Amino acid sequence: MKKKILNLISKKSKVKGFTLIEMVVVVAIIMMLLVIIAPNLAKQKNNANRKTDDAFKSTLQTQVTLYEDDKDRNGKTISFQNMFADGYLTKKQLTKSKDYAVKDGIVEKNAK
């Protein structure tokens, strides 16, 4: 009888699970992976933003060239507001164009 009781007690105390050390090791591995991956993610985000800006600048330049070819400017400077009014830019493009300027028919990003 005594053996049966001890057997039951020992079976109940052998609950399966993770030890604290195992959990610490798993968390440490996850942290090391984050340390390796996080800087690369930030670099990729900056790279994507730069490519987006370059593509938008190229689009603006194309629209400016079309505007110059279609309109007789008589020496007047090109403004994005006039291009929007004449249908060469969308409202979204006009809003984003605040970071750019046209000088002698060339689109340049404003210094920040």
Mean pLDDT by 10 residues, the chain (112 residues): 71 71 96 91 94 96 91 75 92 94 89 64
Look up tokens 């400017």; give the residue: 73
**Residues contacting residue 100 through CB under 8 Å, at least 6 positions apart:** 57, 60, 80, 107, 108, 109, 110
**The predicted structure's pLDDT at residue 17:** 79
